[in-house]
Structure 1
């Protein structure tokens, strides 16, 4: 501590005094001052009573930038740079300048920005004079008066580069919407020069992602599409998309990397007719198509553990089905729980070993346990139908419980949930906003649908589902319903599924003998299907046909001939004479007989006819408007021995049946219902 003494002369009448002294530059010091009286008598006594002391902190340290405190940050929209720093020192000498230097690394140019005292002391500057795709660095220097010397420059450690790169907003991959491609769609905001699309098989590690395409971006465009035409049919893929911008020779990528699951489900169709050898149509024959071993799309189901569930994303699903709905599924339950539920509206469940169906507050139960209808270790098909008047439960196409509907419901926004609390397997879920009738359920429950059936709001085969997501393949016109959902704590199984005898691709021949099996899926280079006709004990030529469905052959015509028939030939005459009757048609078991060209078989100008009748016991009738026939037009015969002896029906003849396997002639006489000129 250094002590100095300064004598100040007292002046009578003066009450205020001052004292000035020099302070070293660049120093921060603490001074202690005391005032005492000297050159007077009894000075010690006076000083003890009246002496005063004070202190003073003095800094002559010039204002400057704190070392390491300068930083540069680019704002979120990459339009401005914010430079911040900390200051120290209290002296701002006259003529001092604070200079922020902006170095454009890209163009190797420098700009000096002179800051006011207030700007410098604020510790912040926003630079809005930066250009896209140019790299910048900043440094700050305080230049004081000459007496203070040179102060060190402090540089920001960061470099910044404003870009116009945008953001990826959404990305979706097609879920089997097109047979020849997987359509990818995405949206972005801001500028992207290009987009990179990568792909790998679902379930493979991320290292398997391979680039499949690069598409150009446009700052004025937000929505983009790309069609992956090289996706292998039947393979489920993970797709990944990135946005890119080239900036000053540097490749910049979007912060977001979006992914989605996608696949293509190419299909083919089998068409044809089933006819007797005469060309007459065979109606009601079932024609099935089954993929041969090692080909085709493997079926899948979801296996539930009791802590699992499926949740549909769209909370509007079934919201409009207040008056009529149908819930369908193949199930193999091992423990009780919910199968399908739209809370507050409909619920199909397995409880107390029975099947329950609820519509609002009303519940319908099967009268017997499920095991009394089917074997407990097999899959069983359930249909729960709510019409405006009734609730009905079907098991394997047969109605097993029915009640008049008493409760009304209103639509709500609760999501459809499947398998909550359920243990076992669920497959082939179909949700309708209409009440299916018994005939439709019986004919369709054991065969795959196309997906565009009237009233079908969601169709989940689960064949292309993954462990954490499942997909809806229903559609109307050209628009898919896309009622996809999230899977929680479930696993897929390709073994725990209905057998091919329980569920497959099939069709029934119409009155003209025609059939069509649509939307047969194929994988890879194609799938071979075995097409087989069946109808009771009937035999066909041929018994089966094989067809390969692929991209080069997506449609086939396959005809079959029913060899299990015999011909009946005869003549129709007016009663009491030899006048033939032309234009008489025939019905076998109520089905009009048609030829191989879908024309109705009729008697010719001579009254003659030849028709084919299947083996077995059938009713054959002659039909002509405004005419009446003996025995109601029914053809009769006596029991078969070697060759049938056919007799003409009379008004008292017994109910006519034809039981024969050979060709014979039969004359049928009739009486016209109205007067005829014949």
Structure 2
């Protein structure tokens, strides 16, 4: 609603009450006031020297005027400024994309009123947090409802103002202008396979993407006194019910010893930290994980509610982690209360330290997924991801949700209260841009950042003491060249092992016997199980180091459980 004053109006008698209507919104300065006037004999009493009057009326006629003297014999009460009331032209915020597109920032809007008076849209922009003035980047026709900004720096947040021209002389949000913040986040995807020389897949190989370009990340630092973070999902949103499954994940670096809140959603869930301890409350049940806390070091926290159990994880790196689990017997009743990080709803238990890389899921993550995926950035397209917050904005009072399904973005953005941006982030061995091979040797590295002019990356395979051919792959990643496939590597740290499987006390071959290495089925480069052929023969690549082989086939029993070496619990040292 607009409250506009016309300074041309002259004060007639003390305070003048004016109800005005605009004949043309395009000329909102020209008002036709309707003045309530009263006959002579009614009194206007001056009470103080500050031009304050008390007025007593017993009726009167409404007199229409426009910048002219009132009829003789009339006493008019009001004020010197005319007032115009007008409803808003917009009823929704300006949509500005937040890292959804690699090459541009998308803006969308919809005007609801005054289309006939509208003459066009003036679009202004500046870097968020900058002291520089807004600069016009476009003037669009009155029929426009979207625009792509293709001339921005990657990873930089921009503030936009959209002004609807021709409506009102005064700028007021939703009345005739909108504002919003957005950025573009160019990223690349690399995929491939890692196999042994014989074609068998290699699982759990890390493919690390390294570059000399500086893509500095950020975290949020909370002061432990009054700073906190909040997320306000819509009421009854299915992705935030968490009644049967839930996972919260974050990298944190506490700087205080007192009990403090990492996550709270009313009485449904609460996760707190004190020195060497994570408490996870789900409904009326509590689970505590005790761990050895390292000083001045980030660690990852995962709290999981399965249908019948609760789990908590603390992870420092791929070699150091802690976990505990308990049977769940309570209820987690959904609520519409905001998510809080850094304080409780009672304005207590404030967290002091850094928070980074927050992920919220409406499913229970498995242990293997937690231990592997917590050490790498994810794409944001994973199934049942409610919100994904990288905390890399570095400026502003919001942290933005990067989760999506296809081209539908969740947009459950968060609000920052008194927390500050920090360049202190987890170590590269803790959280990195990398991929991990699955049981078929396949990997995907997603979310790889690159500069406007492109960036050169080294893709390096890493797995224990293994060697690879090639040792690395160099790739130039940039606009128009941001998707790579078949970036493959051969694990040359393996030994071919062959043999035959026969029925007991015969030379009759057993076909279709499965070969397992350390209990995991050996597979070919196509992902097929390696088994004995019609002659009972098999050939399998065994990695360097200590391992065991085992033969298995449904319905068959093998001597010594089909194991090599024969003694249970003993592995053979495969060395060059």
- 2:448 aligned with 1:520: yes
3-state SS of paired residue (1:170) = coil
The partner residue of 1:478 within 407, 417, 421 is 407
Q: C-alpha displacement at 1:301, in angstroms?
A: 0.8
Matches within 5 A, 1:490-569: 490-494=419-423, 496-557=424-485, 558-569=487-498
Q: Aligned pair 1:182/2:95, yes or no?
A: no
Displacement of 1:594 in angstroms is 3.2
Q: Which residue of 2 aligns with 1:75?
A: 21
2:307 aligned with 1:378: no
CA distance in 1 between partners of 2:329 and 2:523 (Å): 47
Q: What secondary structure does 1:366 align onto?
A: strand
CA contact (8 A) 1:325 1:385 kept: yes
When the two chains are superposed, the root-mean-square deviation of aligned CA atoms in Å is 3.8
Q: Which residue of 1 aligns with 2:44?
A: none
C-alpha spacing 1:346/1:572, structure 2 compared with 1 (3 Å): closer
Tell me how far 1:487 sits from its aligned partner.
Answer: 0.7
1:204 paired to 2:127: no
Kept after mapping to 1: 8 A contact 2:18/2:36: no
Measure, in 2, the Cα distance between the counterparts of 1:408 and 1:163. 50
Aligned to 1:31: none
- Shift in alpha-carbon separation, 1:273–1:200, aligned structure 2, 3 A: same
- Kindly state the Cα deviation for residue 627 of structure 1 after the two structures are TM-superposed: 6.0
Rg comparison, structure with higher value: 1
Listed as ranges, the gaps of 5+ residues in structure 1 are 1-65, 91-120, 127-136, 144-156, 637-652, 663-678
How far residue 283 of structure 1 moved from its aligned partner, in angstroms, is: 1.9
Q: Which runs of structure 2 are paired with 1:658-669 in the superposition (5 Å)? A: 658-661=572-575
Paired with 1:391 and 1:355, the residues of 2 have a C-alpha distance of 13
1:141/1:448 Cα in 2 relative to 1: closer, same or farther (>3 Å)? closer
In the alignment, which of 138, 157, 162 is matched to residue 213 of structure 1?
Answer: 138
CA deviation string 1:433-475 (max 9, x = no partner): 2222222221122222222223321221111253411111122
Comparing 224-233 and 532-541, the one that deviates more? 224-233
Q: 1:435 aligns with which of 338, 341, 364?
A: 364
Change (3 A) 1:474 1:578: same
Q: By how many angstroms is 1:89 displaced?
A: 8.9
Tell me, yes or no, if the aligned pair for 1:72 and 1:81 is still in contact at 8 Å.
no
Q: Is the 8 A contact 1:168 1:243 kept in 2?
A: no
Unaligned runs of 5+ in 2: 1-9, 26-30, 42-59, 73-79, 344-349
Q: Could you tell me how far apart the structure 2 residues matched to 1:527 and 1:601 are?
A: 40
Per-residue CA distance 1:383-437 (angstroms, 9 max, x = gap): 1222333333211174444433343232222111111211111111122222222
Select the residue among 162, 172, 178 that pairs with 1:258.
178
Residue of structure 2 in register with 1:304 after alignment: 222
**Post-superposition CA distance 1:472-521 (Å, at most 9, x none):** 11223432221112211110112x11111111123322222111112223
- Aligned equivalents of 1:559, 1:383: Cα separation in 2: 32
Q: 1:343 to 1:589 in 2, by over 3 A?
A: same
Contact preservation (8 Å) 2:107, 2:146? yes
Deviates more, 1:378-387 or 1:585-594: 585-594
TM-superposed deviation, 1:320: 1.5
Within the candidate set 277, 298, 310, 1:354 is matched to 277
Verify the 8 A CA contact 2:394 2:422 in the aligned structure 1: no
Query: Distance in 2 between the 1:163 and 1:362 partners?
Result: 54
| Cα distance per residue 1:530-559 (max 9 Å; x no partner) | 322122111112222232322221112321
1:396: which partner in 2?
Answer: 315
The alpha-carbon distance between structure 1 residues 366 and 159, as it changes in their structure 2 partners (threshold 3 A), is: closer
Q: Distance in 2 between matches of 1:351 and 1:573?
A: 60
Task: Normalising by structure 1, report the TM-score.
Answer: 0.67
CA distance in 2 between counterparts of 1:351 and 1:602 reads 52
Distance 2:510 2:327 in 1: 52
Tell me, what secondary structure is at the counterpart of 2:524?
coil
CA distance in structure 2 between the aligned counterparts of 1:423 and 1:182, rounded to whole angstroms: 35
In structure 2, the residue corresponding to 1:442 is in which secondary structure? helix
Task: Measure how far apart 1:657 and its partner are.
Answer: 5.5
C-alpha separation between the residues in 1 aligned to 2:152 and 2:495? Answer: 52
Aligned-partner Cα distance in 1 for 2:509–2:287: 60
Question: Which residue pairs with 1:417 in the alignment?
Answer: 340
Q: 1:331: Cα distance to partner?
A: 1.0
Contact preservation (8 Å) 1:245, 1:253: no
- Per-residue CA deviations over 1:126-152 (Å, capped at 9, x if unaligned) read 7xxxxxxxxxx7656989xxxxxxxxx
Q: Verify: 1:469 aligned to 2:415, yes or no.
A: no
- State the alpha-carbon separation in 2 of the partners of residues 162 and 396 from structure 1: 59
* Superposition pairs of residues 571-586 of structure 1, within 5 angstroms: 585-586=514-515
Q: Which of 265, 287, 291 is the matching residue for 1:364?
A: 287
* Distance change (3 Å), C-alpha of 1:363 and 1:67: closer
Distance 1:366 1:158, change over 3 A: closer
Q: How many residues align?
A: 513
Q: In 2 relative to 1, CA 389–628 (structure 1 residues): closer, same or farther, beyond 3 Å? A: closer
1:245 alignment counterpart: 166
Q: Which residue of 2 aligns with 1:224?
A: 145
Q: Is the 8 A contact 1:315 1:416 kept in 2?
A: no
Other structure's SS at 2:371 match: helix
Question: Could you say if the C-alpha distance between residues 422 and 585 of structure 1 is closer, same or farther in structure 2, counting changes exceeding 3 Å?
Answer: closer
Q: What does residue 328 of structure 1 align with?
A: 249
Partner of residue 284 from structure 1, selected from 193, 204, 222:
204
Query: What is the match of residue 542 of structure 2?
Result: 613
